[in-house]
Structure 1
Amino acid sequence: MTPNSTNKNLIMGSQVTEHGSTTLRLLMFPWLAYGHISPFLNVAKKLADRGFLIYLCSTPINLKSTINKISEKYVDLIHLIELHLPELPKLPPHYHTTNEHSSSGLLTFSAAVTSYFVNLVKKPGVKFPVPDIYLRKIEQVKLGEMLEKSAKDQEPDDEERLVDGYIQIALICTSRTIEAKYIDFLSELSNMKIVPVGPPVQDLITNDADDMELMDWLGTKDENSTVFVSFGSEYFLSKEDMEEVAFGLELSNVNFIWVVRFPKGKEQNLEDALPKGFLERIGERGKVLDKFAPQLRILNHTSTGGFISHCGWNSVMESIDFGVPIIAMPMHLDQPMNARLIVELGVAVEIVRDDDGKIHKGEIAETIKNVIIEKTGEKLRGKMRDISKNLKWELRWRL
C-alpha cells in the first residue's frame, strides 16, 4: 500500500443501508501515477471482498487504463471518480498524469529517507545518526537544486505538518524487518505513530497476450539466469546512460528483460534509440520492451536472478517481497538513500556513478555478472530470501 499517511490519500465514512446494516465507504486518492494507482486498486479489491464500498479518484487519463482491470465481480463495489483538472495550453488532459513528468511534491518514502529529511528540518546542522544513509557530492547538488525549486511552490506550513504533530499516524510501505531502527527514530523525531504496512498488495494475474509470450520466453531460461531491468514509470534514461546500459548488458553475456521508456512526445523507435546493431547482436538472449511489463510476474519467476532498478521505494519493496536481489542504479530524489539502505541490508549492490554522475558499461557488466553468475549473487539471494521470509512472518503475525 503506497500512501505515507492517512490524511493525504484515504478518507473513510459509513452509511446505513435500508436493512439497517452499515457499509463502510472509503475514498482513495492516490498520487497521479500508474505505479501508485495500481497498488491502490489491488487494495480496493481486497477491501471490497470484506464489504467496503470504494471510491477511487483520479484523472480521466489515469482511469482509462484502470477501468479494464475492474472485473464484473467488483463493478458495484469499486467506483471510479473522475478528477477534472483545469485545461491549460501547456497542461492538456493527456498530461494530467505524472507518468510523463519528472516527479516532485508528494512522494512515497521509506522510513529511513523520511527520518533523514525530518532530521534535516527539525535538527538543522545535526548529522543523521546512521552513517550508512548518506548522499554523495553530486547527489547533494541535485537534491539542493530540487529542494530550492520546490520551495518556491511550497505552502508556508507544509514542513510543519509532518514534523509538528499535524499528522498523528503515518502508514508507511515498509516493515520492521527492514527498517526497525529508522521507524523508531522517525517516531521519536516526529511524535507520530508509525505503522509499517508491508509491501503493496500484489496482483499477479494478467490476460495480456504479449505478457504471456514474454513469460513463456522467460520460462525457457535457467533458474536465476536472467536480470530484469526497469527504471519505473516516471524516470527516463539520458541517451548516454541508455547506451552505457545497453553495452553493459551486451558485455555481461547474461539473459535480460529491459523495459525502455521515453517521455511523452519524445517516443522513439527502439532500433534508433539503442546502439546500432544492438538488437541483432543480443538475439534471443534478451527482450527489450517499450511498454509496461508485468513486473510482479517477472520478479516472481524462478528464472529471474536480479533486478537492475532505480530504487524507487515501491520497486524495492516488491523485489524484497519476491526475494530478488537488487542491482541499484539510483537517479535522484530518495533513490540514492534507498540504494544505500538495501546495500546496508546485504540484499543489493550498487552501480556507482563517477564524480560527474556518469555510469560506465564496464562496471555495469561486471556487477551483473557478479550477481547472476558469481558467488556474490548466491549470498545476496540467500540474504534476500531470509528477509522476505521474515517480512511475511511479521505481516502474518500482525494480522
Structure 2
Amino acid sequence: MHMYMHTHTHIYICIPLKKIGARGTSMEKEQVKFRILMFPYLSYSHVYPYFELAKRLSNRNLHIYFCSSAINLESIKKTMQKQLSSIELVELNLPSLPELPPDLHTTKNVPPNLTSALLQVFQMSRSSFSEIVNNLKPDLVMYDYFESWVPKLVSPQGIPSVYFATVGAATFSYFHHIYTYGNVSTFPFKELYLLEHEKEGVKSPVELEIEDVDQDFADGMLSLSSEIVLIKGSKGFDAKYIDHLSFLCQKRVVPVGLLVHDSKGNEKNSDILQWLSKKERSSTLFICFGSEYFLSKDQIQEISKGLELCDVNFIWVVKFSVQDDCITLEEAFPRGFLERVKGRGIVVDGWAPQSKILSNPNTGAFASHCGWSSVTESLYYSVPIIAMPIRYDQPINARLVVEAGVGVEVVKGQDGVFTGEELSKSIRKVFVERTGEDIRSKARKLSEKIKEEEEQELDEVAEQIMRLCLKNK
C-alpha cells in the first residue's frame, strides 16, 4: 500500500474573520493562545516541514506541542535550538522490536528492508499518543499520513483535527481525480501524466499494513480532516491544483507556503561552500537525490558519464544505504573519474548543506529526483531544476516544474532508465544554450512571487486554525 494509490472524499466553508497575523490583532490583545499538537510521521521529509510550520505558527499566537520519536526530537534539538523557546517537544514512546532499536525510529536511519517494521511500530504507538492527548488536552491536533486513526481518537473528545499534507497539491489532485472518476482521461491538466513504467513506481516496495483505515481516498486522510486541509504549497505556484483538490475533496485546501528555512547566516562555512564561492555566478550544478534514496551503481555510472560529456562545475552528494556502507567512492564511480573531474567538480559522501548551496548565487541548477521538499527549496531560491524523477510523486513534480518553465526533465528510455547522454543534453539546455537564461528568468520571477505571498498565506493558516479552535470551545 502507498498513499498515491489509496485514495478517498468531502465541504467548502468560507467564513470571513479578522486577520490573525504575526503583527498583532484584537484576538492577541485578549491573550487567547490556543494549544496545537503537531504529529508528523517519522520520516525526515515529513518532520522537517511540520517543524518549519510549527516555528511560524508559534509566532502567530499559537502554542505548539511537537510530537515525534526520541531520535527525531534529538535531531531537532541539535539543529533548531534557537527556535525551541516557543515550541514544546513531546516524546512519543515507541515499542522497541529486536530488529528496530530506538536509533532506527526514523526513516532517515532505517534500512529499506525494515520500512514495514517501522510502520508497524508507529501504529503500535497509539496508546502513547492517546495518553499525550489526555495529558495536554490540546485545542487542535494536526496529523499526517498513516494516521487516519488520529482524528477518530480525538473527535469523541471534541478536539478538531486537521490533516497537513507535505506532498504537493498537483500530486494529490491527480490521484484524487483518478479515484473519483475511475480514469485520468478527464483530468483537466494534461501537462501532468505518468508514463507506463512510472505507474508501478507509485507503489511502496513493501506491503504496509495499516489498521482502522477508511475505504476512501488516501485512507480517509482528507475526508476525516475538520473542515479544512493544509498543504505544503503556494498559490503563487500551484493555485489551479489547490483549487481542483478543493473541488474533489469538498473541503477548503489552504496552502501553508513552501516552508523553506532561510539559510542566511545560519550555517558555518565549510570546504564545500568555500570551493563554491570561487566559481563564477550560476556556473555550478548541484546534484542530490534526497536523504532517503540511494542511487544504484549503474545510475552513478550514467550520471558520471553525463558530467564528463559537458564541461560544467558540479557538487554531487552521494549516499550509500546501510547494506552498501562498505562501498567506497572510488569503487562506486568509473575508474579514474574522480581524478579527471578534479578542480571542476567535488563529490560528497553522505551530506552537504543543501539550502546553503542552493541559496549561493554561483549555483546555476539543481539535478534532483524531484521530491517535493527539494522542488520547493529550489523554487524558493530561484534555482532551475534538471528533473530526474525516480518514483512516488516525483514524476508528477518533474512535469510541474517543466510546465512552469523553471526546469527541464532528463529524457529516459521506455524502461525508465536515464543515460549519461540525455543528462548531458539537459545540462547544456540550462547552462549553455539560450533556453537557459529564459528558464533562469522564470525561476527568479516565480521565487519573488512565492516570497511575496508567504506571510499572507501563513496568516490565513493561523486564522483558519483559530476559527476551528473557537468553534469547538
- Give the TM-score range, shorter chain: 0.7 to 0.9
* Amino acid paired to 2:277: G
Query: 1 CA distance for matches of 2:262 and 2:373?
Result: 14
* Amino acid paired to 2:195: R
Write out aligned runs for 1:4-83 (5 A): 23-49=33-59, 52-71=62-81, 74=83, 76-83=85-92
What does residue 312 of structure 1 align with?
Answer: 371
Matched, 1:226 2:235: no
Deviation at 1:176, TM superposition (A): 2.0
Write out aligned runs for 1:116-135 (5 A): 116-125=174-183, 127=185, 128-135=187-194
Query: 1 CA distance for matches of 2:64 and 2:225?
Result: 26
Q: Deviations over 1:104-146 (max 9, x none)?
A: 9657321111011111222113522221111001012333x54
Matched, 1:193 2:252: yes
Structure scoring higher RCO (CA < 8 A, sep ≥ 6) equals 2
Residue 115 (structure 1) aligned to one of 152, 164, 173? 173
What does residue 298 of structure 2 align with?
Answer: 240
Query: 2 CA distance for matches of 1:164 and 1:24?
Result: 24
Contiguous gaps of at least 5 residues in structure 2: 1-29, 120-144, 147-164, 460-473
Deviation at 1:379, TM superposition (A): 0.9
Tell me if the contact between 2:288 and 2:368 (Cα under 8 Å) persists in the aligned partners.
yes
Deviation at 1:148, TM superposition (A): 9.3
Tell me if the contact between 1:165 and 1:192 (Cα under 8 Å) persists in the aligned partners.
no
What does residue 292 of structure 1 align with?
Answer: 351
Moved more, 175-184 or 374-383: 175-184
* Amino acid paired to 1:134: Y
* Amino acid paired to 2:368: S
* Amino acid paired to 1:59: S
Change over 3 Å in CA distance of 1:348–1:158 after alignment to 2: farther
Query: 2 CA distance for matches of 1:180 and 1:53?
Result: 29
* Amino acid paired to 1:266: D
Deviation at 1:270, TM superposition (A): 1.5
Contiguous gaps of at least 5 residues in structure 1: 1-19
What does residue 414 of structure 2 align with?
Answer: 355
Query: 2 CA distance for matches of 1:149 and 1:188?
Result: 31
Deviation at 1:39, TM superposition (A): 3.6
* Amino acid paired to 2:310: S
Residue 428 (structure 2) aligned to one of 351, 361, 369? 369
Matched, 1:183 2:242: yes
Moved more, 120-129 or 370-379: 120-129
What does residue 9 of structure 1 align with?
Answer: none
RMSD between aligned residues: 2.6
What does residue 6 of structure 1 align with?
Answer: none
Query: 1 CA distance for matches of 2:319 and 2:389?
Result: 16
Change over 3 Å in CA distance of 1:185–1:47 after alignment to 2: closer
Tell me if the contact between 1:163 and 1:189 (Cα under 8 Å) persists in the aligned partners.
no
What does residue 11 of structure 1 align with?
Answer: none
Matched, 1:275 2:284: no
Tell me if the contact between 1:111 and 1:182 (Cα under 8 Å) persists in the aligned partners.
yes
What does residue 134 of structure 2 align with?
Answer: none
Change over 3 Å in CA distance of 1:46–1:130 after alignment to 2: closer
Residue 84 (structure 1) aligned to one of 80, 93, 99? 93
Deviation at 1:217, TM superposition (A): 1.1
| TM-score normalized by the length of structure 2 | 0.73
Q: The residue matched to 2:294 in structure 1 has which SS?
A: coil
Matched, 1:157 2:166: no
Change over 3 Å in CA distance of 1:130–1:164 after alignment to 2: same
Change over 3 Å in CA distance of 1:60–1:281 after alignment to 2: same
Query: 2 CA distance for matches of 1:164 and 1:172?
Result: 14
Matched, 1:202 2:261: yes
Matched, 1:384 2:394: no
Change over 3 Å in CA distance of 1:240–1:373 after alignment to 2: same
* Amino acid paired to 1:354: G
| TM-score normalized by the length of structure 1 | 0.86
Change over 3 Å in CA distance of 1:142–1:37 after alignment to 2: closer
Matched, 1:170 2:229: yes
Query: 1 CA distance for matches of 2:66 and 2:416?
Result: 39
Query: 2 CA distance for matches of 1:247 and 1:77?
Result: 49
Query: 1 CA distance for matches of 2:265 and 2:45?
Result: 16
Deviation at 1:93, TM superposition (A): 2.1
Tell me if the contact between 1:42 and 1:203 (Cα under 8 Å) persists in the aligned partners.
no
Q: The residue matched to 1:86 in structure 2 has which SS?
A: coil
Tell me if the contact between 2:371 and 2:397 (Cα under 8 Å) persists in the aligned partners.
yes
Query: 1 CA distance for matches of 2:63 and 2:260?
Result: 18
Tell me if the contact between 2:284 and 2:365 (Cα under 8 Å) persists in the aligned partners.
yes
Tell me if the contact between 2:32 and 2:61 (Cα under 8 Å) persists in the aligned partners.
no
Deviation at 1:230, TM superposition (A): 0.7
Query: 2 CA distance for matches of 1:195 and 1:337?
Result: 20
Deviation at 1:395, TM superposition (A): 2.9
Matched, 1:213 2:223: no
What does residue 464 of structure 2 align with?
Answer: none
Q: The residue matched to 1:81 in structure 2 has which SS?
A: strand
Change over 3 Å in CA distance of 1:330–1:167 after alignment to 2: farther
Query: 2 CA distance for matches of 1:375 and 1:54?
Result: 48
Q: Deviations over 1:83-102 (max 9, x none)?
A: 23221133222221112455
Q: The residue matched to 1:98 in structure 2 has which SS?
A: coil
Deviation at 1:325, TM superposition (A): 0.7
Deviation at 1:46, TM superposition (A): 3.8
What percentage of residue pairs aligned between the two structures are identical? 43
Change over 3 Å in CA distance of 1:129–1:154 after alignment to 2: farther
Matched, 1:266 2:324: yes
Change over 3 Å in CA distance of 1:167–1:271 after alignment to 2: farther
* Amino acid paired to 1:328: A
Matched, 1:334 2:344: no
Q: The residue matched to 1:365 in structure 2 has which SS?
A: helix
